[in-house]
Amino acid sequence: MAYLAARSVRLALALILCLVAIGVPAPPVAARALAGVPSPQARVILRLEGAPLGIAAGPTQWAEPTQWAQAAAGPQADALRAQQHQVADAVQRVAPGAEVLHSFSLLLNGLTLRLPDGADAALRERLRHLPGVAAVYEEHAFYPTLFSSTELLGAPEVWEAAGGVAEAGRGVRVAVVDSGIDPTHPMLSTAGMAYPADYPRGDTRYTTEKVIAARMYVRPTDPPVLGEANPVPGPHGSPHGTHLAGIVAGAPVTATHQEVTVPFSGMAPAAWLMNYRVFYPAESGDDVAYTTEVLAALEDAVADGADVLLAGWASASGVEPWASPLAAALDAAAAAGCVVVAPVGNAGPALGSASRVPGGDDRVISVGATTKPQEIVRDHVDVLAPEPVMDDLVGGQFGRALFGPEIDALLGPLPYRFVGDVATDEDPHACASLPADSLEGAVAVARRGECPFADKAYHAQAAGAVATVIVNADDVVTELACSGDYCDRGDIRTPTILVARSFGDRLLAWGTLHPEATLQIDPTGRLVDVTADVLAEYSGRGPAYMRGIAPDVVAPGEAVLSAALGDGAAYLQLSGTSVAAAHAAGAAALLRQAHPAWTPDDVRAALMGAADAGVQVLEEEEPRQALPLEQGAGRLDVARAATATLLADPPSLAAPSVLPGGRVEWQVVFRDPRASGAPLTYTLGLSPAA
């Protein structure tokens, strides 16, 4: 038996197991419709009785494409096909005119049907009662959940153990099911890469030694717009998938974004990528993905041999896992040996907002979003004189106006004047004409309120101002919309910006003390330090489906720089839990390289057990420690995960509501992954006092 000290077990229980008392709704008798946006195409999905090949015939880890090819030609596959033919024939008897659009066998034993016009709930009920049909699901939509982060997560230590950054992730295949990947981007360079045996796969016109598979999934009744019918996004496509691919496995680059040059890389730079495009701009104007195409992409990714699968999207609203064929398919993918990673969704901060497929599923590594130590931020106002200038008068962010000229170059140094000091009635709002030439050559500063923004800018420029700074009524910086009498082209000829109230108050106080004070308005980017490990407000919170702890972990998701679409080396910063999930997928690739024998459940347990639980939540009063339903086990630390000495199964527990005098028990198995001895099994019980 592997020896585990009592203190180690107590520590593991404290750090890994989070118990939350929550209600558990009873599963419905019949599968309920998925919440969210319904498919406009009258498609339903039948789940048939019997396990899919991924569970019935699949290995437990490191599935190779040849194994799936053998399974697809074997007797179990023949039996599934025969069953599906029988059900398809039965469908025609109860629903003449229904069409079988797609069959699934690897991760889901099922069929997608297009129902005839006029199909109603009664027809769906008849389909549910056909022999061999386990459930009928409505099809719904899924949306994408939109440099210093790798060090924060401990990646360099794992790179060193792998032989350096050029070897990190080598041999691991990561599938990205998203909006497509541009394989020509410098972050996805083929330098040092080679195709594995039996590759490339899919549409080989769009594969490289780095991106070794490329496929696209199109709804037959809703094709893509011109130029978007390929796995690589075209001129109207989204950069989301390419951006996530760069975070997962981008090569080291030195990039310039918003005039700031920084070196950075992805988490597992030597890993292979696999591209499965399910999001595209359609002729209908739809830019979401639907269940059938997503299921087809998941099956292909597993059949193509993905070791890690990034599903960087979420259902439009809460989805119960027992009512979703996608949840069953994701479970089957994990059972087949694929580590599945997904965002917890961007519906926070409400409790229960993590109830999204796929991120709320039990066997998926669900990921929330936090801040990282640095961001590239543009648009600042700086007081320049007289020196010395206080630190809190430098770097005040501003919001741009949607009227007047763009600010595309440094403006200043310039004197600034408060409009209340020049107005005949001392009004601070600039809502009426100001004395002629009273602001000549200066930047006007006015307070928000009493009249539209454009009115203030018009009166300031008429008095000779070269720009207008509006001080907001609170500490929020937003864009300025145009309303009022001065919104015609050419009315406003000088730039207008909005600053936060606290910065504006300091700006005005300094100007009162120093009438000769000057400032500059700087539209370029700056690398600024921010507080790391702060939970993003939008990051989904648990409990998931009113029963589970979510997210599992959190990772940087705020203003992360990575690859973008465009000519040459394009980069941009994106935020969202999908960005955080990409970091976790890269971390999973590093663990699969370091520990080839680990199962998907082992990878999840290691990442959760090694996480840093010091995440903070910003509230009005002061920061506080994040709760398990907000941060899960904590922020990823892949260096600690790679050297884990204790794995728990399951890695988290959620307690149902238990009446006084009742009792609920769980078994938790601990094992030392370095040893071959027997694991330790503990029984945990919860018994509220009567």
What residue spans define the domains of the chain? 43-140, 142-372+531-642, 375-527
- pLDDT band of residue 2 (cuts 50, 70, 90) is very low
Residue 59 has pLDDT above 90, yes or no: no
pLDDT range class, residue 564, cuts 50, 70, 90: very high
pLDDT > 70 fraction of the chain, expressed in percent and rounded: 88
Taking residues 658-668, what's their average pLDDT? 83
Place of tokens 């999908």: 578
Can you tell me the distance from the alpha carbon of 489 to that of 475, in angstroms, rounded to the nearest whole number? 30
CA distances from 276 to 299, 325, 426, 582 (A): 11, 19, 63, 15
Identify the residue whose tokens are 């994990």. 334
CA distances to 367, 385, 407, 509 from 515, in Å: 52, 10, 25, 10
Confidence band for 363, pLDDT divided at 50, 70 and 90: confident
Cis bond before residue 386 (omega within 30° of 0): yes
635 to 289, 390, 554: CA distances (angstroms): 29, 35, 5
Q: What is the mean pLDDT of residues 95-101?
A: 90
Query: Which of 8-12, 548-552, 655-659 has the weakest average pLDDT?
Result: 8-12
pLDDT band at 158 (very low <50, low <70, confident <90, very high): very high
∠224-175-16 over CA atoms, to 5°? Answer: 130
For the cut 60, the answer to whether the pLDDT of residue 7 exceeds it is no
pLDDT of residue 74: 76
Kindly state the tokens that stand for 504. 């504006």
Which sign does the torsion angle of CA 509, 515, 516, 518 carry? positive
Range of weakest confidence among 192-201, 368-377, 462-471: 368-377
User: 240 falls in which pLDDT band (50, 70, 90)?
Assistant: very high
Q: How confident is the model at residue 33 (pLDDT cuts 50, 70, 90)?
A: very low
Q: What is the mean pLDDT of residues 229-252?
A: 95
Query: What pLDDT, on the 0 to 100 scale, is given for residue 41?
Result: 60
Q: Residue range 152-178: average pLDDT?
A: 92
- β-pairing verdict for 365-370 and 339-343: parallel
Alpha helices in 17-116 (DSSP H): 53-56, 65-72, 75-94
Q: Indicate whether 56 pLDDT > 80.
A: no
Buried b (16+ CB within 10 A) or exposed e, 233-252: bbeebbbbbbbbbbbbbbbe
Q: Looking at residues 141-153, what average pLDDT do you find?
A: 72
Closest listed residue to residue 43, CA positions, set 301, 325, 237, 231: 325
Residues 6+ away with beta carbon under 8 Å from 121: none
Cis peptide upstream of residue 325 (ω within 30 degrees of 0)? no
- DSSP-derived pairing of the beta strands 374-385 and 518-529: antiparallel
Mean pLDDT of 186-191: 95
Q: Which two tokens stand for residue 143?
A: 């949306």
What CATH code is assigned to 142-372+531-642? Answer: 3.40.50.200
220 vs 567, residue with greater confidence = 220
Q: What is the CATH number of domain 375-527?
A: 3.50.30.30
Q: Checking phi first, is residue 670 left (phi over 0); if not, alpha (psi -120 to 50) or beta?
A: beta
State the helix-helix crossing angle for 6-16 and 600-609, rounded to 10 degrees.
90
pLDDT at 622: 79
**What DSSP designation does 385 have?**
E
296: enclosing H helix or E strand: helix 291-303
- The pLDDT assigned to 5 comes to 34
Confidence band (pLDDT; 50, 70, 90) for 153? Answer: confident
Q: Is the pLDDT of residue 22 over 60?
A: no
Q: Which whole number is the average pLDDT over 476-485?
A: 91
> What pLDDT band is residue 16 in, cutting at 50, 70 and 90?
very low
59 burial level (CB within 10 Å; 0-12, 13-18, 19+): middle
Of the candidate ranges 30-34, 73-77, 205-209, the one whose mean pLDDT is the lowest: 30-34
Rounded distance between C-alpha atoms, residue 571 and residue 564, angstroms: 5
What are the residues whose beta carbons fall under 8 Å from the beta carbon of 385, sequence distance 6 or more? 413, 514, 516, 517, 518
Q: What is the mean pLDDT of residues 55-61?
A: 56
Lowest-pLDDT choice from 14-18, 336-340, 398-402, 427-431: 14-18
Strands (E), 284-439: 289-290, 308-311, 313-315, 339-343, 365-370, 374-385, 396-400, 411-418
Mean residue pLDDT across the chain: 87
pLDDT at position 13 is 37
Rounded to an integer, the average pLDDT of 578-590 is 96
Question: In the prediction, which pLDDT does 360 show?
Answer: 63
The percent of residues above 90 in pLDDT, for the chain, comes to 63
CA atoms within 13 A on the CB side of 285: 0
Q: How far apart are CA 427 and CA 106, in angstroms?
A: 72
Lowest mean pLDDT segment, chosen from 435-449, 504-518, 566-580: 566-580
Query: What is the pLDDT averaged over residues 359-374?
Result: 86
Tokens (6 digits) for 688: 């509220």
Q: Over the Cα atoms of the chain, what is R_g? A: 28
Distance CA 417, CA 411 (A): 16
